[in-house]
Structure 1
Amino acid sequence: MVVDGAARDAAHAVRTAVFVDEQGVSPDIERDALDVLSRHVLATGPDGTPIGAGRIAPDGRIGRMAVLADWRGRGVGEAMLQTLLDDARERGLRSTWLHAQLPAMGLYARAGFVAEGPQFDEAGIAHRTMRRHAGAAFAVEDADTAVDATVTIIASARRTIALRSRDLDPGLYDHPDVLAALRRFVTGTRGASVQMLLHDPATVQRRGSPLLALAQRLPSALAFRAVEDPVDREFAGAFLVNDAGGFHVRTLGTRMDGDAATDLPGRARQLQQQFAPVWERSRVCSEFRALGI
């Protein structure tokens, strides 16, 4: 629940326990002028005991997200984050952002936040900036942004991901962060499905790809097909789309730049509808099975 008044004191107590007592942040830094301007969320246990806190500033910055140690890994952070995002939507804030501690980036990626810029130190702790664009696309202009957008599109998927690529794009789908996101998705999501449609499977086979080894271990979740229809082969672009309104579209599949979104379900459905018939008429990559897949 979003709180003010006396309940805010309880939120401060949770923050003190996590940031000051546990992480060694100075009390002078933990409290700041934004506290009185922000809206605060407080999570409580079944007995009403405060167990989590967070806030959102007037400019859409989410921060001071803290969950007591005994309650981590039980969905408290996700619930608080969703409450703050709901509050932002009700107040017309289209863009929200935050400084994420590196171990917490997965939480925010699952909610549609995309990392941007380099890692930096804040209060002696490594962070990265992350931003969520509600109902809007954003430009992907370089390989680093493509990787960060791809990680979030994978992490925020509900059950299905569709990928269309010429040859699995070296530098993107073999990037360690992207591979880690895929591995978490297929091992941590019941009924997960990743369909990968290739235009040049021979190059993938010759060059090799870490995704082939991952598919060998998880063949029920990751599947490859090759485009054969002459009309389908004329498609020059590439895209990644999930079932939660996220996508990354590239007009030229040989380049990393394009447009991406994490919350545009209408456009995502169009891409899924474009993908489905091509997938159905394409052939299974049996040559990959010869490698043990």
Structure 2
Amino acid sequence: MNIPDFRVEPANYRADYDDLLAILNADKQPDDESDIIEADSINPQSIYFIARDNQHLPIGSGGLTSEGFIEGLAVIPKWYNQGVEQALLTALIEKAAKSGLTEIKAQAVERYKTLFERLKFTRVTQNNPGVYSLSLTLEPVAQKPGRPDPKPAPESIEPDKLESLSAILEASTQLIASARRQICIISKDLEWPLYAQNSMLEALKSFAINNRNSLVMILIQDPGALNGRSHPLIDLAQRLPSAIQLRTPTEMEDLGYPSALLLSDQRGYLFRLNNEQAKGDWSPCLPSRSKQLAELFERLWQRARPCTEFRALNL
């Protein structure tokens, strides 16, 4: 039995815009009046989810407006009827409920009508032949009874200075080992003495394989420096494309960012002010500093593009 391998995740309007538009155009029906769906079909004020296959390619999307109207539910043809549509719609319903909406509405073409009705939407009207207006009343999201008190926040650990490459490598592998869902990395060119070492590669591989829905996000500022040279971390990313994502900056300010960074979702960090020097500081848990660096990384990541050079360079 062939089990479809895909995931549904929140979309970012800026970073995922081209993929969202491509999905909408791929799902157009032959009798649609216009040839191409225009750019303004994607509302920057809406919440979007995107489905991706195990190669990180976009296969489906769906949006939710602040008024509770579902829009842009679409799946590329070769993924029809493999559960992608229902996974996207379920994610939108859950998001609407958590946002405090009491009702959501949708317009569905004939192909999606049965799916909406399966998820308890009721038909309101039939506007045009084959187009239906539907709605769903949502139950308020209630707190589960007897929920235990939240765990106390972990104690902050004062940072230590790092004065050598071996110390940086040891601290990096400790941070990776402590992570649960996400690791963020900024590197100029995946420095060979650090990111090509067996201990680093094994730590990243173990994290990607042993943690469900794990994600390593690597921002490479100068992918051209790897031109023609095989790199074991790139090879690992190619074998685990759904767990290791590579992007490269597009803006001059980000391309010139001088520092190197590794973040763990357990509030640990390693920061090198100058990416060409083996000096920095780190802490396995320092929430205030980790939050500041995570916000910086998120800004750079959202402005970056997927790093496709390595496919063309055949590394």
- TM-score, structure 2 normalization: 0.49
2:309 aligned to 270, 287, 293, which one? Answer: 287
Which residue in 2 is equivalent to 1:15? none
- Closer, same or farther in 2 for the Cα pair 1:234/1:291, shift >3 Å? closer
Structure 2 CA distance for partners of 1:215 and 1:268, relative to 1, 3 Å:
same
Determine the structure 2 residue equivalent to 1:166. Answer: 188
Query: Structure 2 CA distance, aligned partners of 1:168 and 1:279?
Result: 16
**Residue aligning to 2:288:** 266
Q: Distance in 2 between matches of 1:189 and 1:205?
A: 31
Greater gyration radius: 2
Could you tell me how far apart the structure 2 residues matched to 1:205 and 1:223 are? 19
- State the percentage of identical aligned residues: 36
- Structure 2: 5+ residue runs without aligned partners? 1-150
In the alignment, the residues of structure 2 paired with residue 242 and residue 201 of structure 1 have an alpha-carbon distance, to the nearest angstrom, of: 23
Letter in 2 for 1:210: P
Of stretches 283-292 and 249-258 in structure 1, the one that deviates more from structure 2 is 283-292
Query: Could you say which residue in structure 1 is the equivalent of 2:231?
Result: 209
Task: Deviation per CA, 1:104-146: give whole Å up to 9, x if none.
Answer: xxxxxxxxxxxxxxxxxxxxxxxxxxxxxx5210011001101
User: Counterparts of 2:254 and 2:200 in 1: how far apart (Å)?
Assistant: 26
Structure with a larger share of its residues in helix: 1
Question: 3-state DSSP class of the match of 2:253?
Answer: helix
Residue 255 of structure 2 aligns with which residue? 233
Q: Which of 218, 226, 230 is the matching residue for 2:240?
A: 218
Tell me by how many angstroms 1:270 deviates.
1.1
What's the offset of the Cα at 1:205?
Answer: 3.5
> What is the distance in 2 between the residues matched to 1:198 and 1:152?
22
Structure 1 residue 289 displacement after superposition: 2.5
Q: For residue 240 of structure 1, give the secondary structure of its aligned residue in structure 2.
A: strand
Q: How does 1:132-143 map to 2 (within 5 A)?
A: 135-143=157-165
Runs of at least 5 residues in structure 1 that lack an aligned partner in the other structure: 1-85, 95-133
2-structure distance, mates of 1:204, 1:191? 28
Taking the aligned partners of 2:228 and 2:290, their CA distance within structure 1 comes to 32
For the aligned residues, what is the CA RMSD?
1.9
Shift of 1:203: 1.0
Is residue 179–residue 265 contact of structure 2 (8 Å, CA) maintained in 1?
yes
Structure 2 Cα separation of the partners of residues 227 and 254 of structure 1: 18
Alpha-carbon separation, structure 1, partners of 2:252 and 2:180:
33
Q: Which amino acid aligns with 1:146?
A: I
Q: How far off is 1:280 after superposition?
A: 1.1
2:260 counterpart of 1:248: no
Q: Does 1:188 align with 2:210?
A: yes
Return structure 1 stretches of 4+ with deviation > 3 angstroms: none
Cα distance in 2, alignment partners of residues 194 and 266 from structure 1:
22
**2:70: which partner in 1?**
none
> Residues 70-129 of structure 1, C-alpha deviation per residue, up to 9 Å, x if partnerless?
xxxxxxxxxxxxxxxx9xx9xxxx9xxxxxxxxxxxxxxxxxxxxxxxxxxxxxxxxxxx
Could you tell me which residue of structure 1 aligns to residue 300 of structure 2? Answer: 278
Q: Check whether the contact 2:228–2:313 (CA below 8 A) recurs between aligned residues.
A: no
Distance 1:291 1:215, change over 3 A: farther
Q: Quick one: which amino acid aligns to residue 272 of structure 2?
A: R
Partner secondary structure for residue 217 of structure 2: strand
For residues 200 and 256 of structure 2, what CA distance do their matches in structure 1 show?
Answer: 27
Q: How far did residue 189 of structure 1 move? A: 0.4
Does the 8 Å CA contact 2:208/2:214 hold for their aligned counterparts? yes
CA separation of 1:215 and 1:257: change in aligned 2, threshold 3 A: same
- Per the TM alignment, residue 242 of structure 1 is displaced from its structure 2 partner at its CA by 1.1
Return the letter of the residue paired with 1:271: L
Secondary structure of the residue aligned to 2:202 is helix
Alignment-derived partner of residue 219 in structure 2: 197
State TM-score, norm by structure 1.
Answer: 0.53
What is the SS of the residue equivalent to 1:139? strand
Cα distance in 1 between the residues matched to 2:200 and 2:192: 12
CA distance in 2, matches of 1:155, 1:247: 12
Contact 2:195–2:201 (Cα < 8 Å) also in 1? yes
Structure 2 letter corresponding to 1:287: E
Is the CA contact 1:216–1:292 (under 8 Å) kept in the aligned structure 2? no
SS of equivalent residue, structure 1 residue 207: coil
Conserved 8 A contact 1:199-1:226: yes
Q: Deviations along 1:207-247, whole A, 9 cap, x unmatched?
A: 32101110111000101111120111221111111110111
Shift of 1:292: 6.2
